[in-house]
């Protein structure tokens, strides 16, 4: 094996070791929210006391309990009852809580008060995708069901993006900080309310009946492009060396 190829293989092995030994935010967290104010153009978690449009970003509260979670969300300082902040959402581009349907960017969609990082740092969850809902500009999807002859409607919101252990607490995911994907599915039940009932409320400028929302947030690792490139380069080198041996 040539000196260059040995270097490539060693670099690939080191990259693989780094990838295995990294501690990204992974696992599942079950989130519970307080009473949420939902209108056609806004979602105010737990609920916000600020009347939209908001000049600065506003946040609501959530809680999660370690024994019900997995991975990073169930160990260390996350093992007990943990509180956090969730970013309010607005369909108004002039609002500081604006997040467009589909692709967009909303920093600190979720912030956990407890985490396994350095004191003063936090986990940052940046939303990059918000699901299409039942109404233009609204991210929540309404679905109807019948149980025991009673109608019930559920509202479901899906948001995806990436998360990072923001050790520097500067709302920037540095190269040395682990970055992973996340998806959160959040929902609430409105028993005794049909889609037609809720639609009439929303289109009439009102808010859905106060109800507790809950959901699941799941974080999964991202491959490291630099590590994958080194591994690919090493494999290419091995293939080239094999062809050379065959040519001889």
* pLDDT score of 221: 82
* pLDDT score of 17: 37
Q: Where are the domains of the chain?
A: 1-20+234-248, 23-223
* pLDDT score of 14: 41
Q: Greatest CA separation found in the chain?
A: 81
Rounded mean pLDDT, 134-158: 93
**pTM recorded for the entire structure:** 0.78
> Are 110 and 126 contacting, i.e. CB atoms less than 8 angstroms apart?
no
For residue 13, what are its two tokens? 């092995």
Which three-class secondary structure state does DSSP give residue 34? strand
Range scoring the smallest mean pLDDT among 48-62, 123-137, 208-222, 230-244: 230-244
Task: Identify the sign of the CA torsion 91, 94, 98, 101.
Answer: positive
Instruction: Supply φ then ψ for residue 203, to 5 degrees.
Output: -70, -20
Q: Which of these, 27, 203, 40, lies nearest to 115 by C-alpha position? A: 27
* pLDDT score of 122: 73
How many other CB atoms are found less than 10 A from the CB of residue 228? 14
Query: pLDDT band at 165, cuts 50/70/90?
Result: confident
Torsion, Cα of 65, 68, 71, 73 (10° steps): -10
Query: pLDDT band at 175, cuts 50/70/90?
Result: confident
Q: How far apart are CA 127 and CA 1, in angstroms?
A: 47
For residue 103, give every residue at least 6 positions away whose Cβ sits within 8 Å of its Cβ, in sequence order, or none: 128, 129
Rounded mean pLDDT, 73-96: 92
Instruction: Supply φ then ψ for residue 63, to 5 degrees.
Output: -135, 155
For residue range 189-238, what is the model confidence (pLDDT) as tens digits? 999 999 999 999 999 999 998 889 999 999 998 655 544 444 344 444 44
* pLDDT score of 24: 83
* pLDDT score of 164: 85
């Amino acid at each position: 094996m040539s000196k260059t190829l040995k270097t490539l293989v060693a670099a690939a092995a080191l990259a693989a070791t780094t990838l295995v030994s990294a501690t990204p935010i992974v696992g599942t967290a079950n989130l519970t929210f307080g009473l949420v104010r939902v209108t056609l153009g806004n979602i105010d978690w737990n609920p916000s006391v600020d009347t939209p449009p908001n000049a600065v970003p506003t946040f609501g509260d959530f809680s999660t309990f370690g024994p019900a979670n997995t991975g990073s969300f169930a160990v260390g300082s996350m093992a007990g009852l943990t509180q956090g902040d969730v970013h309010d959402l607005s369909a108004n581009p002039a609002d500081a809580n604006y997040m467009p349907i589909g692709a967009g960017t909303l920093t600190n969609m979720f912030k956990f008060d407890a985490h396994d990082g350095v004191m003063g740092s936090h986990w940052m969850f940046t939303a990059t995708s918000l699901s299409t809902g039942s109404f233009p500009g609204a991210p929540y999807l309404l679905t109807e069901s019948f149980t025991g002859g009673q109608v019930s409607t559920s509202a479901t919101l899906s948001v995806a993006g990436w998360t990072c252990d923001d050790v520097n607490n500067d709302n920037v995911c540095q190269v040395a900080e682990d970055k992973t994907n996340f998806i959160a599915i959040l929902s609430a039940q409105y028993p005794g309310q049909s889609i037609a009932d809720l639609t009439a409320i929303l289109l009439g400028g009102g808010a859905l009946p106060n109800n507790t929302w809950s959901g699941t947030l799941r974080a999964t690792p991202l491959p490291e492009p630099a590590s994958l490139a080194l591994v690919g380069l090493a494999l290419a080198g091995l293939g080239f060396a094999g062809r050379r041996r065959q040519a001889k």
